[in-house]
Structure 1
Amino acid sequence: MQNIKFSIIIPVYNRPKEIDELLASLVTQNFDAEFEVLVIEDGSSETCKAIVESYNSQLSNVSYHFKENSGAGASRNYGMQKALGNYFIILDSDVILHKNYLSEVKKALEENYTDAFGGPDAAHKSFTYLQKAINYSMTSVLTTGGIRGKKQAVGKFQPRSFNLGISKIAFEKTQGFSKMKNGEDIELTFRLWDNGFKTQLIDKAFVYHKRRSSIPQFYKQTFGFGTARPILNKKFPSTAKITYWFPSLFILGLALGIVLALFGNVYLISFYYLYFIALLLDAIFKNGIIVGFLAIFTSLTQFLGYGLGFLKTQFNNNN
Structure 2
Amino acid sequence: MMSIQVSIIVPCYKQAHFLNESLLSVLAQTYTNWECIIVNDGSPDDTERIAEQWSARDNRFKYLKKENGGLSSARNAGIASSKGEYILPLDADDILHEDYLTFLVPELQQNSSLAIVSCYSNFFINNRSNIIHQQKPIGTTYHALLYENNMMASSLYHKKYWEEVGGYDENMKDGFEDWEFWIAITKKGREYKFVEAFLFYYRKSKKSMFIDTLAHHLESNMEYVFKKHNEIYIAQFGTTMEYLFSLIKRHHASEHKIKKSVEYKIAKIIAKPFRIFQKLMIKK
TM-score, scaled relative to structure 1:
0.66
Instruction: Compute the displacement of 1:219 (Å).
Output: 4.5
Is residue 71 from structure 1 mapped to residue 64 from structure 2 by the alignment? Answer: no
User: What's the RMSD between the two structures over aligned residues?
Assistant: 3.1
Deviates more, 1:247-256 or 1:65-74: 247-256
Distance 1:203 1:115 in 2: 17
TM-score, scaled relative to structure 2:
0.73
Q: Where do residues 83-162 of structure 1 align in structure 2 (5 Å cutoff)?
A: 83-113=82-112, 114-124=114-124, 126-127=126-127, 136=133, 149-153=136-140, 158=145, 160=151, 162=153
Is residue 209 from structure 1 mapped to residue 190 from structure 2 by the alignment? Answer: no
Are the aligned partners of 1:155 and 1:200 in contact in 2 as well (CA < 8 Å)?
no
Question: Secondary structure in 2 aligned to 1:163?
Answer: coil
Distance 1:16 1:22 in 2: 10
Instruction: Give the gaps of 5 or more residues in structure 1.
Output: 140-147, 263-319
Are the aligned partners of 2:9 and 2:89 in contact in 1 as well (CA < 8 Å)?
yes
Distance 1:205 1:167, change over 3 A: farther
Instruction: Compute the displacement of 1:21 (Å).
Output: 0.7
Residues 180-232 of structure 1: CA deviation (Å, up to 9, x unaligned) = 22322222222213455333333436321113334x97652313234311222
Distance 1:163 1:57 in 2: 25
Distance 2:245 2:131 in 1: 26
Q: Which has the higher strand share?
A: 2
Distance 1:248 1:13, change over 3 A: farther
Q: Which amino acid aligns with 1:16?
A: A
**Cross-structure match for 1:10:** 10
Distance 1:219 1:124, change over 3 A: closer
**Cross-structure match for 1:175:** 166
Distance 2:53 2:96 in 1: 19
Distance 1:157 1:257 in 2: 31
Is residue 165 from structure 1 mapped to residue 152 from structure 2 by the alignment? Answer: no
Are the aligned partners of 2:120 and 2:198 in contact in 1 as well (CA < 8 Å)?
yes
Q: Which amino acid aligns with 2:11?
A: P
Q: Which amino acid aligns with 2:206?
A: S
Is residue 186 from structure 1 mapped to residue 179 from structure 2 by the alignment? Answer: yes
Between the two proteins, the alignment pairs up a number of residues equal to 245
**Cross-structure match for 2:254:** 254
Residues 102-141 of structure 1: CA deviation (Å, up to 9, x unaligned) = 1111132234342223344312475499x965xx4xx6xx
Larger Cα-atom Rg? 2
**Cross-structure match for 2:221:** 228
Residues 291-319 of structure 1: CA deviation (Å, up to 9, x unaligned) = xxxxxxxxxxxxxxxxxxxxxxxxxxxxx
Distance 2:228 2:8 in 1: 30
Deviates more, 1:153-162 or 1:186-195: 153-162
Distance 1:193 1:128, change over 3 A: closer
Distance 1:218 1:132, change over 3 A: farther
Distance 2:20 2:125 in 1: 18
Residues 249-284 of structure 1: CA deviation (Å, up to 9, x unaligned) = 33420331454578xxxxxxxxxxxxxxxxxxxxxx
Q: Which amino acid aligns with 1:193?
A: T
Instruction: Give the gaps of 5 or more residues in structure 2.
Output: 263-284
Question: Secondary structure in 2 aligned to 1:115?
Answer: strand
Distance 1:86 1:35, change over 3 A: same
